[in-house]
Amino acid sequence: MNTLRLHSSGPEVKALQNLLKEAGFNPGPMDGEFGPGTEQAVKAFQKSEGLLDDGIAGPRTISALTPEQPVESVSILPAVTSAIVSRMFPHTPIVNIEKYLPSVLNGLEKAGLVGQGMVLVALATIRAETEGFRPISEYRSKYNTSPGGHPFDLYHNRKDLGNQGPPDGERFKGRGFIQLTGRNNYAVHGNAIGEDLINQPDKANDPDIASHLLASFLADKEVMIKKELLEGDLRGARRLVNGGSHGLERFTSAFEIGKELIPETLAV
């Protein structure tokens, strides 16, 4: 079944309407016309399933309606080349992109983040966090270290990060492509990818592990990020990842360049 949306029509829309009604979401007349009633039924079903409620019946929505016959999402990852990413990262040596991009794309694929929006958010996040396109450790700054204090002492007692006092600030400082920070994030996303990062936090800078952590973190906020993208709010999308607007200019620049260069769908 193709992606269906407002004003679509034909047998596939009628089949969608039947699926919605069977699931308990009445679309109104079963007429094969994707009108406002069908759109609202799709949105209600999406909310029920924890999906992005955009009213568009794409692969994930249709798969949720037909769990016995899941539909694979069309991946745009084959279109993401080092040459294209280099244009999104104009100040970055292309050798770094060529070296680490395969790991990043593999992490996104395993997490199911294969659509244009989330792929661009992932790449734009890397540019905002580590423009050199390589996993790194957070630097000391006035934001994490008190004047004359021990490195990262301002993180030691951050309850919002799950830190429990010294030496948690330095132990769980930002690392990787996404600058994963705090005991809670190391525990949750380390567990999600099968790595013990509490006892071995430096592993967060391993390129393959850093790639999976980036994907895990974004996947956890996927629906919220997609809602911001639907509204065209890149500041909101950046805030969901970073908690603020640090690196917003780089994030926005990379996203907008990538949107022009990487197709929303691939020709088949």
44/102 same-domain check:
no
In sequence order, the β-bridge partners of residue 180 are 175
Domain housing 231 = 73-138+174-268
113/246 same-domain check:
yes
* Residue among 184, 230, 218 nearest 58 (CA): 230
Contact status, residue 85 vs residue 77, Cβ threshold 8 Å:
no
Contact status, residue 182 vs residue 85, Cβ threshold 8 Å:
no
Q: What pLDDT is stored for residue 267 in this prediction? A: 43
State the Cα torsion 95-97-102-107 to the nearest 10°: 150
Asked whether residue 98 is domain-assigned, the answer is yes
80/35 same-domain check:
no
Can you give the pTM of this predicted structure? 0.84
Task: Show the low-confidence residues of the chain (pLDDT under 70).
Answer: 70-72, 266-268
Separation between Cα atoms, residue 242 and residue 193, nearest integer Å:
20
Q: What pLDDT is stored for residue 217 in this prediction? A: 97
37/97 same-domain check:
no
126/61 same-domain check:
no
Q: What pLDDT is stored for residue 239 in this prediction? A: 96
* Residue among 81, 83, 124 nearest 105 (CA): 81
CATH code of 243's domain: 1.10.530.10
90/35 same-domain check:
no
208/107 same-domain check:
yes
121/33 same-domain check:
no
Separation between Cα atoms, residue 194 and residue 175, nearest integer Å:
17
Q: What pLDDT is stored for residue 113 in this prediction? A: 95
23/122 same-domain check:
no
